[in-house]
Structure 1
Amino acid sequence: MFRHVVMFSWADDVDDAHIAAVSAALDTLPGTIDVLRAYRHGPDVGISDGNFDYVVVADLDNADDFATYRDHPDHVAVIQGLLAGRVEQRAAVQYETT
């Protein structure tokens, strides 16, 4: 199993409506990107200072499937349409899991 985790801190002008739009768009991806085995995302619950604001966790079979997800037009559309210019900070990691 191959896991991709990405965390965002939103720019100051991002409001709850925009975050809801991001969530709704991300919800559609498992239905259009068939290499996704599990896909979860959501806002930080706010109980610890210094956390990122939002996380996406994608489970795939292997690194090739991650590349398919990363480059898929629907995923790229979410990035370009809803995340570009709206993210202050981003951190990501991909790792093998059992």
Structure 2
Amino acid sequence: MIRHIVLFTWTDEATDEQKAAVAAGLAELPGLIPQIRAFTASADAGINQGNADFAVVADFDSEDDYLVYRDDPRHQAVIAERIKPILASRAAAQLRL
């Protein structure tokens, strides 16, 4: 199993509407990409200062399933159209479970 973890920090200029559009776009992906086994995408809870603004945790049965998700044009569209315009920084890791 592969667990994909991504942390995003938004630019200071990012609007609430843009942030909501990211969340909405990502929330659609589990219904569109059957290789996704589990998926959580959410804004940080704001408990600790210095955290990233938004996180995605997605599980896949195999590396091949992760690659299908990674390269899916609908996923790539969310990145290009909604995430990149407000992205200040990104960190990611793929874990073997």
Q: Do the two structures share a fold, i.e. TM-score over 0.5?
A: yes
Residue of structure 2 in register with 1:16 after alignment: 16
Residue of structure 1 in register with 2:5 after alignment: 5
Q: What is the identity, as a one-letter code, of the residue corresponding to 1:29? A: L
Cα distance in 2 for residues equivalent to 1:89 and 1:20? 18
Deviations 1:8-60 (A, max 9, x none): 00011111111111111111101111100011010111111110000001100
> Scaled by the length of structure 2, what TM-score is found?
0.96
Cα distance in 2 for residues equivalent to 1:86 and 1:18? 8
Name segments (4+ residues, structure 1) moved above 2 Å: none
Task: Give the share of equivalent positions with the same residue, in percent.
Answer: 45
Q: Number of matched residues?
A: 97
> Scaled by the length of structure 1, what TM-score is found?
0.95
Structure 1: gaps (5+ residues): none
Q: What is the identity, as a one-letter code, of the residue corresponding to 1:93? A: A
Asked whether the equivalents of residues 18 and 86 of structure 2 are also in contact (C-alpha less than 8 Å), the reply is no
Cα distance in 2 for residues equivalent to 1:84 and 1:9? 11
SS of equivalent to 1:45: coil
Structure 2: gaps (5+ residues): none
Q: What is the identity, as a one-letter code, of the residue corresponding to 1:25? A: G
